[in-house]
Chain A
Amino acid sequence: MRIGIVSPYSFDVPGGVQLHVRDLAEHFISKGHHVSVLAPADDDTPLPDYVVNAGRAVPVHYNGSVARLSFGPLTAARVGRWVEAGRFDVVHIHEPVAPSVSVLALWAVDGPIVATFHSSNLRSRAMQAAYPLLRPSLEKISARIAVSEDARRTVTTHLGGDAVVIPNGVFVERFASAKRRPDWAGTPARPTIAFLGRMEEPRKGMPVLSQALPHVLREIPGLRILIAGPGDPSSVREKMTKEAAAACEFLGPVSDQDKARLLASVDVYVAPNTGGESFGIILIEAMSARATVLASNLPAFARVLRGGEAGEMFHNEDPVDLARTILALLRDPIRREQLAVAGRERANAFDWSVVAEDVMAVYETVIFGTSSVRAPSGPDSRWARLLRTGRNSGGT
C-alpha cells in the first residue's frame, strides 16, 4: 500500500504527535508498505529518509504550548508537489485543524483521507472563526480517528459526527529491553525519582513538583531528582527552595535510549502534568520500561493507568498530596514492584503491533474499491487554484 502521512509539527523537536507519526511510519515500512511522511523541519535537521521536508517551521503559541508550525504559499506549493508525486492510496493527516502543513494537505488532496485528532483542547474560538473556511475541507475526510476518548469528545463537540478511538502505540520491547544505569538507580539512602519533559511549560507540572519537594526532602534528605528534557535549568531552580534545587540533577534533552534507561533505573517516575494531555504516551513508555509510575489524576492518565491499578495517582495540582504519595511509594518497595509488574502487563495493550493493525483496518476500509489519491483536477481545482492565488496576492 502507498501511504502518505502528514505531521503538522516540526521534526526539529520531539513531541507526542511527531513520535506517533514516526513510529506509525516505521511500523508500516517494516511491514513492507511504501510510506512517505511530510513534515516541517529546518534545512539542517537530519531527517529519516522517508520524511519529506515541507519547509522551515516557526515557533508559534498554539494550543497552550509553543508549537513549531509551517505555513505560507511556499509551503502550500511543496505540499501540492508532495501529493502529486506520491500517488498515494491513502493520505493520513494528523491534527487536520492545526494551522500548518495539515490544513494545507487537506486542501490539496483529493481522494481517501484519514485524519487523526490528537488534541483534547481544540481552541474552539479560533475554530468557530475559521469555520466557513475549514468546513468544506474537513468534509473531505473519509475516516476520523481520535487517539483518546477525550480527543473523540472534542471532535464530536466541535465538528459533529463521530471518530473511531485508536490509542497511541509504543514499541514496548524497545523500553522493556533498556538496561538500568547504576548512577541513575536509587539506593535506600539515596532514592531517585525522574521527571521528563519540557520543564518550563507549566502544564507539564514542574511547579507542582517544585512545591512538593521540600516536604519530601524533609523526610528523605538523600532524595535525588533526575530531570530530563529541554529547557533552562536556572529558571526552574530559582523557583525552588535551596535544598530542592540542590537535590535536582538536570540531564538536559536525552536520547530515546537514555530515556528508556532512565525510566528503567529510577525508583519512581513522576508525571505531575496539570492538563492538556489527551493521552499520556509517556506513561506507557514508563510502564514498558517497568518503571513505577506516579501521575496526576487527569482523566486521560486515569484511563491509561486503569484507575490506579497500573500506577499510583495523586490529586492534580496538589503538591501536598504529591509529596505524600512520593513518600509512601519510596518507603514501600513491595508496592513499587507490584505497580511495575502491573504496568508492564498493561503496556502490552498499547504496543504498536496491536495499535497499527487497527489503523490499517481503517485504511483498508477507506480505500476499499477506490482509486488512489490525486491532486484535484477539473473544474473544482480551477476554483481552488483561483482562490489560492487570490489569497496569496491579497496577503502580500
Chain B
Amino acid sequence: MDRSWIVGGIAMAVLIAWYVSYGAARLDRLHARVEGALSVLDAQLVRRAEATLELANCGALDAASALLLAGAATDSIEADTADQTSREAIESDLTQALELALGEEALRRLREDEAVGAPVLQRVAAANQRVELARRFLNDAVTDVRRVRRKPGVRLLRLAGHAELPQTFEIDDELPMLVRGT
C-alpha cells in the first residue's frame, strides 16, 4: 500500500518535471523564432527604405515625388525600433508614399529607363516583397507564441518567465502594381 503511493508519487513528479522541461523548451524555441523573425523584418524594412532612397535619387521621378519618397524613407531609417506603434505608422506611411509616387505614368517611365530606373524599381519591388514575407512569418510566429502562452499549465507554472508577450506587426505593405504576373 505504502509503496504504491511512493511509486505513484515519484511517477507524478517525473511527469510534472517532464512537462515543465518540455514546455519550457518549446516556449524557448518559439520565442527564439519570434526574435529571429523580428530581426529579419527589421533588416528588410531598412533595405526597403534604402531602396526607396535610391529610387528617390535616381532622377527618373519628378522632384515632388522624389522629395515625398526621400522624406518617408528617411523617417523609416531614423525610426525608433523600440517603439513598435510609431514604427508601424511610419512604415505604413512609406508604403503609401510608394503607392502615390508609383502611378501608371511614373511606372512606365521607370520601366523604360533600362539603365537606371528599371533596376532601381526592381530593387524596391524585391525589397517590398521581402518585407511582406518577413512580416507574415513574424506574425505567424507571434500567433504561435501567444497561443501556447494562453495555455493554463503554461500560465500557472510561469513557463514563459519574464519574456515579454510579443505583438504582431501591423502595417500596410501591399504594393499591387509591383507584383509580377498581374
Contact = CB atoms under 8 A, between A and B. Distances in A.
A368 B43 contact: yes
Given A142-B141, A379-B21, A365 B126 contact: no
Contact of B180 (A354, A364, A383): A354
Contacts of B43: 368-369
Interface in A342-388: 349, 354, 358, 361-362, 364-366, 368-370, 379-380, 383
B140 A144 contact: yes
Contact of B144 (A161, A354, A361, A362): A161
Nearest to B37: A142
B25 A139 contact: no
B25 A368 contact: no
Contacts of B141: 142
Given A161-B143, A162-B140, A383-B22, A362 B133 contact: yes
B137 interface: yes
Contacts of A368: 40, 43-44, 134
A142 B33 contact: yes
Nearest to B26: A136
A143 B133 contact: yes
B25 A365 contact: no
A162 B25 contact: no
Interface residues of A, number: 24
Contacts of B25: 379-380, 383
B76 interface: no
B39 A369 contact: yes
B26 A139 contact: yes
Contacts of A370: 36
Given A136-B26, A383-B22, A160 B143 contact: yes
Interface string B18-53: 100110011001100100110110011000000000
Nearest to A145: B133
Contacts of B74: none
A327 interface: no
A161 B138 CA distance: 10
A192 to B, nearest CB: 32
Contact of B133 (A139, A164, A354, A380): A164
Nearest to A141: B140
A136 B29 CA distance: 10
A335 interface: no
Most buried by A among B30, B139, B140, B180: B140
B136 A361 contact: no
Interface of B: 18, 21-22, 25-26, 29-30, 33, 36-37, 39-40, 43-44, 126, 129-130, 133-134, 136-137, 139-141, 143-144, 147-148, 180-181
Interface of A: 136, 139-140, 142-144, 160-162, 164, 349, 354, 358, 361-362, 364-366, 368-370, 379-380, 383
7 contacts: A139-B26, A139-B33, A142-B141, A143-B133, A365-B130, A369-B43, A370-B36
